[in-house]
Structure 1
């Protein structure tokens, strides 16, 4: 048994305990795949991250990201939380950016005024879903197929399918059944509102549909779709977690070169050690 430094963070938070919690095990050299998966299952958070030395040129650290059931090549709120935790543990790193080595490749994370933001990785699957998948989405979300404005693949590690509805109220009214895999729903707020979109994200765990409090990977994928389709031009803020009595806020912007940045605030709530 070895003692490791440990952090538990709240990502995309707007206040205490308002975002998506994340467990981070620092300097996790020596842990086996089975030990990492077992600990992630024990925390029972949406993701647990293990920080390791980098293997890719340009990276400052490597992440392994586990849900309670399996490992992910990339996930959004673990990327932000990992960067925040690594920077807190390495005050000698004064650069504005850090490089994260993960299953999706090298991901750049930069400091922001109140947290961090990651450069959205390329989508591994994009484009409209076919009619069969569209019907499955409507059935799983328990909505009328005619209420779907558009539906696209926005997979970037998790196999997200994005469903655009008419407005934020329609998103908040969704009461899903069993969704077909990783499904996110987005709807716009009226012009001039504090937030541009309401977002919800669903996945199946142990054959039960669960809702994620705030989801960086889905927000990254849907932002790339919104920008590429011309539905969105400038920077915007999305709200997520409302249906779960959370108050997550996701900030999105796109550089002139087309890079989409997804960011938010991160707060550390637990710091200590764990014996594994």
Structure 2
């Protein structure tokens, strides 16, 4: 074991402890996959990441992303939190954007004022969900089938199924049943207003979002989820259910205050938020 630089970063918030934390090991060289997974499980966080030298010539660094029990090809808040930690530790990008190499390929990250934003990776699967899935999700969420006003695959690495409810209040009132939703990662979004008629001012939250991942110990809710918000944005903007620029709130039901900033520019949809380092030092690995 040896000391390695480490940061624990709270993402999608400028106020410590109101976002979603990620553990970032800034030098993962020489660590086996099993060691990375073991450390991730020990942190008891939703994700831990390990920064490595890039293999692709266009990348600034390579990132391996783990959640309890498995490695992920991509995840949003670990991407932003790790980039924040890399820059804080003295990282310097080669070009205009920071370029992260990970399981889904190369992901562009840019500075957006006091925030960082990543370009949403392409969806691996899109289009409406199967009727049987929608019926099951409605039952698992405890809502009527007619309360789901729109739905789509939102698979961009994590295999999200996205559903839109009538309004944000209905989203916040959900008490999902993990036994019904077993095996399904479900993202739920509700507008703060009529469906398809949402504000686009940058300081207003247009949507409330919740992310449910049923696990062995029951229902797991992620506080603020970059990958889900990226996929939701691609779906909602593409279907004219959201404007080209909006802010989504997530984590409200858990006592957090996550804010995810979404903006379409040309072919890219950028997903951004503030990050703040809460713990900094060394970890023995």
Q: What is the TM-score normalised by the length of structure 2?
A: 0.93
Q: Distance in 1 between matches of 2:172 and 2:223?
A: 13
SS at match of 1:160: strand
Match of 2:135 in 1: 135
Do the aligned residues in 1 keep the contact of 2:176 with 2:219 (CA within 8 Å)?
yes
- Residue 200 (1) aligns with residue 210 (2): yes
Following the alignment from structure 1 to structure 2, what is the Cα–Cα distance between the partners of residues 109 and 93?
A: 10
Q: How does 1:225-244 map to 2 (within 5 A)?
A: 225-244=235-254
Using the TM superposition, give the Cα deviation of residue 57 of structure 1 relative to its aligned residue in structure 2, in angstroms: 2.6
Partner residue in 1 for 2:228: 218
Q: Take 2:95 and 2:125, find their aligned partners in 1: how far apart are those partners?
A: 33
Alignment partners' CA distance in 1, 2:162 and 2:220: 16
Alignment of 1:22-33 (within 5 A): 22-33=22-33
Quote how far apart the aligned CAs of 1:90 are: 2.2
**Aligned residue in 1 for 2:186:** 183
Q: 1:5 to 1:140 in 2, by over 3 A?
A: same
| Structure 1 CA distance for aligned equivalents of residues 15 and 35 of structure 2 | 33
Matches within 5 A, 1:115-154: 115-154=115-154
Indicate conservation of the 8 Å contact 2:211/2:221, yes or no.
yes
How far off is 1:234 after superposition? 2.5
Q: Deviations over 1:221-259 (max 9, x none)?
A: 000001111112321000000000000000000002x21
- What is aligned with 2:84? 84
What runs of 5+ residues in structure 2 fail to find an aligned partner? none
2:270 corresponds in structure 1 to 261
CA distance in 2, matches of 1:96, 1:112: 12
Shift of 1:129: 0.5
Q: How many angstroms apart in 2 are the aligned matches of 1:94 and 1:55? A: 14
Look up the SS of the partner of 1:230 in the other structure: coil
> What's the secondary structure of 1:13's corresponding residue?
coil
Contact 2:13–2:276 (Cα < 8 Å) also in 1? yes
Q: Distance in 2 between matches of 1:207 and 1:160?
A: 20
CA distance in 2, matches of 1:114, 1:139: 41
Shift of 1:95: 4.9
CA contact (8 A) 1:14 1:247 kept: no
Q: Any runs of at least 4 consecutive aligned residues in structure 1 with deviations exceeding 2 A, and if so which?
A: 90-96, 190-193
* Unmatched tracts of structure 1, length 5 or more: none
The CA deviation at 1:270 is 0.6
- Count of matched residue positions in the alignment of Structure 1 and Structure 2: 275
Partners of 1:166 and 1:156 in 2: how far apart?
Answer: 25
Q: Structure 1 length as normaliser, TM-score?
A: 0.96
Q: Please report the RMSD computed on the Cα atoms of aligned residues, expressed in angstroms.
A: 1.4
Secondary structure of 1:111's counterpart equals: strand
